[in-house]
Amino acid sequence: FKNNHLFCLKSQSEDMRNLGLSGHVGFDSLPDQLVNKSTTQGFCFNILCVGETGIGKSTLMDTLFNTKFESDPASHKEPGVRLKAQSYELQESNVRLKLTIVDTVGFGDQINKEDSYKPIVEYIDTQFEAYLQEELKIKRSLYNYHDTRIHACLYFIAPTGHSLKSLDLVTMKKLDSKVNIIPIIAKADTIAKNELHKFKSKIMSELVSNGVQIYQFPTDEETVAEINATMSVHLPFAVVGSTEEVKIGNKMAKARQYPWGVVQVENENHCDFVKLREMLIRVNMEDLREQTHTRHYELYRRCKLEEMGFKDSDPDSKPFSLQETYEAKRNEFLSELQKKEEEMRQMFVMRVKEKEAELKEAEKDLHEKFEHLKKTHQDEKKKLEDKKKDLEEEMNAFSKKKAATQLLQSQAQQAGSQQTKKDKDKKNQRTVLTVIQLLQ
């Protein structure tokens, strides 16, 4: 009855009234219900380790989670940067944690490091895209979805004592809107105490001047505000990793042993390992998960949906439903398609016309050539006919001359042997007359 009564009061008035309850209702168990539900469901946490080969990524992960994850040392001969993800099921008390550790293999090993950040950005985006696709499905199963989105990116800075490398700045700048970056100084046992302080402030000022947004420990919640505020001062955490147990006093502790002494991983005077563990796992793990979902994934989702043409409101700031967006997009696509089709058709007609004109021109050329050839052929023929006629005339004249000469020769032979001189003369006269006739 009380539940119904409360419900009525709420729905009747817009501004809610505070009411005291006269007895126990039971909704104060809601947080417990949430805890129980989350505990049975288990948690996902994904860490991305970005850092040069051999900087101590695997050792730090082993030290952080107090276990030995499988990892092979990378060679320095990788042609490019590659990301390797490995998932593990961890259990502490009755809380199950599905932990994924993503390692950058070959980072910082190439001569040209211009594109080193790309595979990392791509990996992060791919995980966001997979989540978005699941969200957009009609049958979603986000409840038991294995979330692979990166919740924290540990950026390993080389303990140079100088400043950040340009590769570090470029990579962090490219990642800062996509992931919660926690910068850490690796192998901090190699830097002297007085240098470390300067190195830390140099790094922080460089990050600020280059506009790199690192993860801010939340200070809005009372319970964690103080610890987070004090811890922020120590950023970037200078860490030392080791899984080796060394006897210190009468206790065993994780440490690195050197000829001159021992560096204790969990000793806050030696390094910031404990601070990192506190911030990353004990205090802010849930905030890191939340920030990933509400800030980074939200940004990715918004950009992606806008890219796809979805809008929340039309140009007059009126709400725009998904259906309307879909229809508007569809119409836009169809008109675009029609425009393209028309363009192609016109292009085709133009090309046909061009080809036709080209063919006509070629035909005209051919015709002219043919006419020219015909004319030269006729001229040649006429010349040859004239020559033939001349030759025939010459041949006729020659045959006549030949016949006359033969006649003269035969008469001359006869006259020499039988006839008198008179006869000869007469005969000669006649012959001459005949020759003259023949020649005429």
Q: Which residues lie near Mg ion (CB under 5 A)?
A: 57-58, 71
- The sign of the CA dihedral 226, 241, 86, 150 is positive
Rounded to 5 degrees, φ, ψ at 429 are -60, -45
Strand 251-258 vs strand 261-264: parallel, antiparallel, or unpaired? antiparallel
| 23 C-beta neighbours (distance < 10 Å), count | 5
Q: Is 190 a residue that touches ligand GTP (CB under 6 A)? A: yes
H/E stretch holding 261: strand 261-264
**In the sheet where 251-258 sits, what is the strand order?**
245-248, 251-258, 261-264
User: Using an 8 Å Cβ cutoff, are 155 and 52 in contact?
Assistant: no
For residue 329, how many C-alpha atoms fall within 13 Å in the half-sphere facing its CB? Answer: 14
Is 296 a residue that touches ligand GTP (CB under 6 A)?
Answer: no
Closest distance of CB 183 from ligand GTP, Å = 15
Nearest CA to 177 out of 57, 300, 76 is that of 300
Residue type, 264: Q
**Part of the chain binding ligand GTP (CB under 6 A), chosen from 66-74, 212-220, 330-338, 352-360:** 66-74
| Shortest distance (Å) from residue 58 CB to Mg ion | 3
Which member of 44, 47, 50, 53 binds ligand GTP (CB under 6 A)? 53
Query: In the complex with ligand GTP, which residue's Cβ is closer, 59 or 291?
Result: 59
Which residue's Cβ has the minimum distance to ligand GTP? 56
Amino acid sitting at position 354: E
Reference 99, options 285, 330, 320; nearest CA is 285
Kindly state whether residue 196 participates in binding ligand GTP, applying the rule CB under 6 A. no
Q: Encoding tokens for residue 272?
A: 């910031």
Residue 270 as a binder of ligand GTP (CB under 6 A): the answer is: no
Residue 88 DSSP symbol: E
Which is closer to ligand GTP, CB of 14 or CB of 72?
72
Min separation Cβ 15 and Mg ion, Å: 57
Q: Distance between CA 246 and CA 167 in Å, rounded? A: 36
Q: How far apart are CA 94 and CA 52, in angstroms?
A: 36
127 interface partner picked from ligand GTP, Mg ion, none, CB below 5 to 8 A per type: none
Consecutive H or E run containing 409: helix 322-417
Residue 240, interface with ligand GTP (CB under 6 A)? yes
> Which of Mg ion, ligand GTP, none does residue 180 bind (CB under 5 to 8 Å by kind)?
none
Confirm or reject binding of residue 203 to ligand GTP (CB under 6 A): no
DSSP 278: I
From 9-17, 22-30, 49-57, 322-330, span contacting ligand GTP (CB under 6 A):
49-57
What is the distance between the alpha carbons of residues 165 and 180, in angstroms, rounded to a whole number? 20
59 binds, among ligand GTP, Mg ion, none (CB under 5 to 8 A by kind): ligand GTP
> Between 179 and 265, whose beta carbon lies closer to ligand GTP?
265
Which segment (7-15, 56-64, 202-210, 365-373) binds ligand GTP by CB under 6 A?
Answer: 56-64
Interaction partner, residue 42 (Mg ion, ligand GTP, none; CB < 5-8 Å by kind): none
**Per-residue x/- track, 68-87, ligand GTP (CB under 6 A):** ---x-xx-------------
Residue with tokens 């276990």: 67
Residue 64 makes contact with ligand GTP by CB under 6 A = no
Residue from the set 147, 168, 176, 189 that interacts with ligand GTP by CB under 6 A: 189
With CB under 5 to 8 Å by kind, the binding choice for 319 among ligand GTP, Mg ion, none is none
- The DSSP call for residue 114 is T
- Tokens 């103080």 sit at which residue? 226
Neighbouring-strand partners of residue 105: 82
Q: Does 241 bind ligand GTP (CB under 6 A)?
A: yes
Structural contact between residues 22 and 125, judged by C-beta atoms closer than 8 angstroms? no
53 binds, among ligand GTP, Mg ion, none (CB under 5 to 8 A by kind): ligand GTP
**Shortest CB 71 distance to ligand GTP, Å:** 6
CB of 283 to ligand GTP, least distance (A): 23
Q: Which residues lie near ligand GTP (CB under 6 A)?
A: 51, 53-59, 71, 73-74, 187, 189-190, 240-241, 256
